[in-house]
Every structure is written in structure tokens, then in C-alpha cells.
Amino acid sequence: MSLNKGKHIVKEIEDVLCTVVESGINAERIKFLKTLLEFNKFEVKFAEDSIEGETKTYILGVTDLEFNPVISVYEQSLKRPDVVSEKVSPVYWNQEPEIDQLPYFDYREKNPNAENDDDFLPNPWAYRTI
């Protein structure tokens, strides 16, 4: 289950009822989520889900039946194990590259001596009405 699916699924993993965090994931993703969830004091269970071709897929769950990963990530109740006092964001959860600066603030760096709005435009006369 990824963050774009908010359905709460409960399955039996290793003979224990668990909330399914994600299914159909690889061993590398298991390692990442297991570290993250155990750091946040959840008991993690996982099992082999199916074999698709030559790759194995797994299902990962936590024993806390009230846990919902979508709600926990978006209300920022999970902590990151690698950075102190940082919360888990959707970008971190999905293991996407994080952007340090937002691109729409780059204009200040390119033109630090700007005095008015026209100094930020590449061709100021193209946007003016006379």
C-alpha cells in the first residue's frame, strides 16, 4: 500500500494480525521501512508475498492494528532515524530525492540586486502593457 491508497488493510502475517503497511515490495524497501518503523517503536512483521518471475515480493505489516501509514506520514507523527528532530515526509517515505531549494526562489540568487519586479523577468518589455 503506498501513500496514494488510504485503505486500512488487516492481514495475518507470521500468525499475528497486522496492519498492512505495504505489499508487493522488494527486500531493499523492507529494510528501509523496517528500520524506520522500529525506530518509531512499532513491531514489524513481514513475509514473502509472491514470486513474480525471478524477483520475490514481500508484504510488510505492524502489529498495531490502529496504525495507518497514510495518516501517520501526512500528520507527521513519525520521526526519521537518520536526522534528529526531523519528521517523515511523503518524499522521504517514498524514498524520492529531496530538493533542498524550491525552484521558484532561484530568481533572488540569480539577481540579488533587483529593485523592482521587472528585474526578475528575462525580457521586461514582453510582459508590460502600454
The answer on pLDDT for 32 being more than 60 is yes
- The mean pLDDT value for 94-108 works out to 65
Q: What is the DSSP string of 33-74?
A: HHHHHHHTT--EEEEEEEEETTEEEEEEEES-TT--HHHHHH
Q: Is residue 115 pLDDT above 70, yes or no?
A: no
The mean of the pLDDT values for the chain is 80
* Overall average pLDDT of the 46-50 stretch: 87
pLDDT at 5 over 60: yes
Phi-psi region of 44 (alpha: psi -120 to 50; beta: other; left: phi over 0): beta
Residue with cell 497514510: 70
CATH among 3.20.20, 3.30.70, 1.10.760, 3.40.1350 for 10-93? 3.30.70
- Of residues 120 and 71, more confidence is placed in 71
Q: Is the whole-model pTM more than 0.75?
A: no
Write down the pLDDT at residue 85. Answer: 80
pLDDT digits (tens, 9 = 90+) for 76-96: 999 999 887 889 988 889 988
Count of Cβ atoms closer than 10 Å to residue 97 Cβ? 5
CA–centroid distance for 128 within its chain:
42
> Any idea where the domains of the chain sit in the sequence?
10-93
